[in-house]
Amino acid sequence: MSRILYIKASPRGERSYSISVADAFIASYKTSNPQDEIITINLFKKDLKYLISRLQEHLGNIKEGYDQLYSEVAKNETIFHTDVRNNEHVSSDSVDLIVTSPSYPNMTDYVKSQRLSYYWLGIPISSANNDLISEIGARRKRQSKDALKKYLEDMQICIKILSSKVREGGFVCFVMPLFGRNDLKRKRIIHKVMSELERLFVKEKEFERIIPAVRRAHNIKWATLEREKIFVFRK
Ligand SMILES: C[S@@+](CC[C@H](N)C(=O)[O-])C[C@H]1O[C@@H](n2cnc3c(N)ncnc32)[C@H](O)[C@@H]1O
């Protein structure tokens, strides 16, 4: 008799392709080797249990830290909830560092994807919702012939405004999508957005990262974007 150790380690559970293949293999193996023992360990569930017990252990400290952080933020920091193209709030040449992950072209309906947060905040997502009206690159506008052109114009305006806010020698950290050869139209548009950044700033550093499938979309078929780049520019 043999003993088989079957280790599962995917957070996707039932939705994992590799687990479905492995399950099918184990089922067929059991039929042809009924005498063998199969031990299954689900590492993800084990790790999750461990993580939750650690969180519970430290929850008291975390809460205290966060309460302090939020009360300091409320006292000392200012949050503007506005269209980034609204040029009124921040004075020119006053900012040391901007960190932004801007909208990607025709990728997501950001406001709708946050509808539960809006519901929780008591803000209706009606056609009068300003965030919805001013949303750059929204997926729902992708059928419009000039959607990509409009995205580029909006991003060029944003970059000009951001540049005017940063002091000489200040930094901008920008996250940008990396479209492949199968998406040439969006690749070209992002290239033009980058040209605008490079016209106004000096590139200091860039990092590439793979976006984990679970972060990209609930349905893997929609998760077309696999990579992003993070750029650090100096004015
Ligand atoms: C890629 S998401 C990044 C979100 C956030 N920075 C984060 O990392 O979780 C882009 C964000 O830009 C917001 N956005 C779209 N158009 C905007 C506009 N005109 N002014 C300000 N924010 C806008 C979207 O609502 C969305 O939250």
Residue boundaries of the structural domains of the chain: 3-57, 95-234
Q: Which atom of ligand 1 is nearest to the CA of 83?
A: 20
- Contact predicate 98/173, CB 8 Å: yes
Q: Please give all residues whose beta carbon lies within 6 A of any atom in ligand 1, as ranges.
A: 83-85, 101-103, 110-111, 134-136
- Contact predicate 218/180, CB 8 Å: no
Predicted confidence at residue 213, as pLDDT, reads: 63
Predicted confidence at residue 40, as pLDDT, reads: 92
Centre of ligand 1 to C-alpha 136, Å, is: 8
Query: For 40-63, how does the pLDDT look when each residue is reduced to its tens digit (9 = 90+)?
Result: 988 887 777 777 787 777 777 777
Mutate which of 103, 104, 158 for ligand 1? The one with the most ligand atoms within 8 Å of its CB, which is 103
Predicted confidence at residue 198, as pLDDT, reads: 97
Residues in the chain predicted with pLDDT less than 50, given as ranges, are none
Q: Whose CA is closest to 172, among 152, 151, 200?
A: 200
Q: Bridge partners of 208? A: 229
Nearest 5 degrees, angle CA 226-CA 116-CA 69? 85
Per-residue 3-state assignment (H helix, E strand, C coil) for the chain:
CCEEEEEECCCCHHHCHHHHHHHHHHHHHHHHCCCCEEEEEEHHHHHHHHHHHHHHHHHHHHHHHHHHHHHHHHHHCCCCCCCCCCCCCCCCCCEEEEEECCCCCCCCCHHHHCHHHHHHHCCCCCCCCHHHHHCCCCHHHCCCCCHHHHHHHHHHHHHHHHHHHEEEEEEEEEEEEECCHHHHHHHHHHHHHHHHHHHHCEEEEEEEEECCHHHHCCCHHHCCCCEEEEEEEEC
Tokens at residue 103, please? Answer: 């909208």
Centre of ligand 1 to C-alpha 23, Å, is: 41
Residue 205 dihedral angles phi and psi, to the nearest 5°: -155, 155
Predicted confidence at residue 219, as pLDDT, reads: 52
Predicted confidence at residue 122, as pLDDT, reads: 86
Predicted confidence at residue 222, as pLDDT, reads: 54
C-alpha span between 139 and 141 (Å, rounded): 5
Mutate which of 84, 86, 99, 110 for ligand 1? The one with the most ligand atoms within 8 Å of its CB, which is 110
What pTM was computed for the model?
Answer: 0.71
- CA 187 from centre of chain: 18
Give the residue, by CA position, lying nearest to ligand 1 atom 3.
101
Q: Hey, how many other C-beta atoms are within 10 angstroms of the C-beta on 176?
A: 19
Predicted confidence at residue 45, as pLDDT, reads: 79
Question: In the block, which residue shows the tokens 């060029």?
Answer: 156
Buried-state track 135-173, b at ≥16 Cβ within 10 A, e below 16: bbbbbebeeeeebbeebbebbbebbeebbbbbeeebbbe
Predicted confidence at residue 134, as pLDDT, reads: 94
